[in-house]
């Protein structure tokens, strides 16, 4: 396995330092009290300390177990529980308590549910906006197996951004994204833009899984051509030795160059860096895009 470069280790240590503060402890306590999961915990996000110390978290709806078995993801692979009907209100109440101006929420893939969890996303979005007037919301959805009606259900709840991650270049899907489909994910974004052109679309790519430069360039072009407005680029970090190994660690300079290429491809706003994740600094990325004509 490729060794962690020192600058990655230093970045992760700096973020974890935030977990030792009282603000981070308070964030964790509030989430536990309301029985709410976060992608910060379940996906072992390296930014958890930094975000928790600032009172930020990305809610993980619909349980902490996924029905798919992607080789890069730390979320548990198991039979998930039935949807918790009280979860949307608890998430909305915490958004109000924290006086959030921007909320991101996602879920594991729930292929066991007829609508993939779309109604749960929509209900959560409506309640967040009802209890916190003026808040911006960003549901980060799975592909719903390409179900247009499920996508429409989420869009009708009027989020400000519709997120769906492409995750990696096309050539890596067969070995690392069981049950997912590159073209289907692109259609999620293009269908969202077609149905609701007023709602910004967002996606994310992990770098370091073994992609070639020409494959990454093609993925950027594909996303832009399918109406994606916002993009995040981050370094893949293997959650354990059992997960897909890291093929390459990109430097900060390389991330900057790929961010420039993405902007040149037509994205309205791009956030790129070793520890960037799809919901990291989401409100700032939205603001950058909203400021552009």
Pseudo-torsion of CA 185, 191, 196, 200, nearest 10°? Answer: 30
Domains present along the chain, CATH in parentheses: 6-290 (3.20.20.70)
> Which residue in 84, 35, 64, 43 sits closest to 239, CA to CA?
43
Q: Provide the pLDDT for residue 68.
A: 84
Among 76-80, 97-101, 160-164, which range has the highest average pLDDT?
160-164
State the pTM of this model.
0.87
What is residue 106's three-state secondary structure?
A: strand
Pairing type for strands 65-66 and 136-140 reads: unpaired
User: How far is 219 from 213, CA to CA, in rounded Å?
Assistant: 10
What pLDDT band is residue 119 in, cutting at 50, 70 and 90? very high
Per-residue pLDDT of 199-237, as tens digits, reads 999 999 999 999 999 999 999 999 999 999 999 999 998
User: How far is 222 from 231, CA to CA, in rounded Å?
Assistant: 12
């Amino acid at each position: 396995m490729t060794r962690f470069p020192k600058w990655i280790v230093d970045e992760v240590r700096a973020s974890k330092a935030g977990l030792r503060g009282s603000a981070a402890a308070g964030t964790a306590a509030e989430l536990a009290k309301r029985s709410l999961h976060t992608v910060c915990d379940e996906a072992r996000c390296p930014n958890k300390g930094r975000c928790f110390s600032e009172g930020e978290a990305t809610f993980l709806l619909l349980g902490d177990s996924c029905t798919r078995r992607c080789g890069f993801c730390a979320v548990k692979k198991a039979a998930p529980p039935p949807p918790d009907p009280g979860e949307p209100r608890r998430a909305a109440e915490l958004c109000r308590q924290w006086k959030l101006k921007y909320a991101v929420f996602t879920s594991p893939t729930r292929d066991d549910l007829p609508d993939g969890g779309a109604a749960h996303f929509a209900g959560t979005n409506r309640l967040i906006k009802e209890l916190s007037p003026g808040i911006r919301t960003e549901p980060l959805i799975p592909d719903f197996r390409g179900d247009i009606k499920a996508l429409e259900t989420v869009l009708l709840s009027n989020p400000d951004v519709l997120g769906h991650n492409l995750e990696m270049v096309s050539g890596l899907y067969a070995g690392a994204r069981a049950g997912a489909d590159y073209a289907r994910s692109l259609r999620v974004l293009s269908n969202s833009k077609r149905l609701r052109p007023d709602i910004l679309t967002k996606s994310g790519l992990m770098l370091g899984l073994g992609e070639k430069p020409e494959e990454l360039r093609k993925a950027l072009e594909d996303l832009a051509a399918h109406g994606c407005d916002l993009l995040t680029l981050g370094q893949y970090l293997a959650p354990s030795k059992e997960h897909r190994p890291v093929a390459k660690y990109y430097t900060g300079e390389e991330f900057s160059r790929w961010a420039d290429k993405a902007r040149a491809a037509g994205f309205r706003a791009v956030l790129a860096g070793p520890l960037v994740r799809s919901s990291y600094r989401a409100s700032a990325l939205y603001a950058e895009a909203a400021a552009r004509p």
